Amino acid sequence: MKRILIGWMAALSALLCACSAQTVWETVDGGCVPAEGGAAYAIRIALPQDAVEEVFAERGARQIYTQPGGGYEITTEILDAAPAAAIVRRLSGFDASALHVYKSGGKDRPVWQFAWYAASDEGGRMYRCKVISDGSYCYALTVSVPEGAGTSYDTMLTEVFSSMELQPV
């Protein structure tokens, strides 16, 4: 009886040795990587002196700069061109009809600006975004600050947003 049991165990072990769990891979949507040929412009802004570029930020299409200690966060990204409502939704998570989207600029290079609030476990954040479209790509600048910051970031916000320009690549 022991020999039969040992024989069955050996047979099952041999059969199960080739079986393994399938590895589950997590994928991340690349979303804002420019199409072949790339964008015609790069986003140029005047960064605050204490801004630090995030190490794990995607190079090229998206760059993230933060203030040490969790103050502001500045993000620049290049997106494929889309209608204003789609860009607002993608950047803020809100429908454009739920926000006040201020439009300026000309027909060839429209500019959209909007702001929103987002709550999180670490406290809420106030966001402001400026998007410039060249018809092929949208160039976005988003800045967020902690909700309790009051007016302490007003000067920095004014300087960063007023300095935004597109520079030919």
Q: Tell me, what's the pLDDT at 154? A: 93
- In angstroms, the Cα distances linking 25 to 18, 22, 28 are 21, 9, 10
Is 18 a member of any domain?
no
In a domain, 30, yes or no: no
Tell me the average pLDDT across 95-120. 94
Confidence (pLDDT) at 54: 84
Question: What's the structural domain count of the chain?
Answer: 1
pLDDT, tens digit, 9 for 90 and up, residues 2-50: 555 455 455 545 444 444 443 333 323 322 334 456 788 999 999 999 9
CA distance 91 to 134: 17
| Nearest Cα to Cα of residue 102 among 82, 92, 91, 88 | 88
**Residue 3 counted as domain residue:** no
Lookup: tokens for 19: 């079986």
Instruction: Please tell me the predicted confidence (pLDDT) of residue 22.
Output: 39
The verdict on residue 96 lying in a domain is yes
Q: What is the DSSP string of 33-84?
A: PPPTT--SEEEE----TT-EE-TTSPTTTEEEEE-TTT--EEEEEEEE---H
Which is more confidently placed, 52 or 15?
52
Does any domain span residue 150? yes
State the Cα–Cα distance between residues 110 and 103, nearest whole angstrom.
7
- Full residue range of the structural domain in which residue 96 is found: 39-168
What is the percent of the chain with per-residue pLDDT over 70, rounded to a whole number? Answer: 75
5, part of any domain: no
Query: Is 29 strand, coil or helix?
Result: coil
Per-residue model confidence (pLDDT) at position 33 = 38
Q: What are the tens digits of pLDDT across the range 140-160?
A: 999 999 998 888 999 999 999
Looking at residue 29, its pLDDT comes to 30
* CATH code, domain carrying 150: 3.40.1000.10
Residue 125 lies in a domain: yes
Which pLDDT score is estimated for 69? 87
**CB-CB contact of 141 with 162 (8 Å):** no
State how far the Cα of 99 lies from the Cα of 84, in Å rounded to an integer.
12
Average confidence score pLDDT of the chain: 81
Higher pLDDT, 155 or 121: 155
pLDDT at 10: 52
pLDDT at 127 over 80: yes
Q: Which of 51-60, 69-78, 122-131 has the lowest mean pLDDT?
A: 51-60
- What pLDDT score was predicted for residue 57? 60
Token pair of 72, please? 């502001």
